[in-house]
Structure 1
């Protein structure tokens, strides 16, 4: 069971090479994603070996905080005066700090840090409200080694001209 107690925010900066192609640098932060799980039979006990009974490790709680950095290329295609569809591709880096706790166990807290990187891609569409402002939505997929992420994002863009 996952419970997102915090939130996610991203900041995107970019440069338009021309009307159809831009480079983007994205920074994202996600805080306090909580998970509660039941762990059965771990660690396994063997006869004659002194170990912690599996029943004492039944409940596990985790809290995840992550930060990401991505460099992407976005290709745009105008389907009307105000509607633009986009394709995105790039490379992403992810850092996660994970805290595990076992309320009924002798070892109550364990921390772990995970670093992953890999390719990302996606599609999007936006509506140009004014020459400077646009609203939109995009779907992104990130293949980061042992972690695959998928997200749907709402965007508000301001163009400095």
Structure 2
């Protein structure tokens, strides 16, 4: 999963690019998952990284749209990053897979495939939903630690 110290600028409109442009901007694995509706391997390096991340925000690796917050992440022990609610619902859309079996999660800004959402699995979360997301298509930006500024009245 890519990380950044600064939140990216948010796209102001839909992002559309040619396949050639997406292939230039994304790694082959990111392209396979985001543009071809692939799925990364479970319990991989990206998932292990996700489990260790503290508070922060998750953005779309393709267009930088804000997608999820660490406040809504939980360990579903499924091998992929899990959230119970999108942080910015306007940037996340769902639609039925062509086979009618699962509800797909996509970025509403660039149409990248993110994963799937499942309901009614009995997780102890406020929504009882599991947004099962491919970590390879996420960009993590940790929350900044509050800088402790010395009291201006304190003598040096």
> TM-score, length-normalised on structure 2?
0.26
- Larger fraction in helix: 2
- Larger fraction in strand: 1
Q: Which has the higher contact order (CA 8 A, sep 6+)?
A: 2
> TM-score, length-normalised on structure 1?
0.25
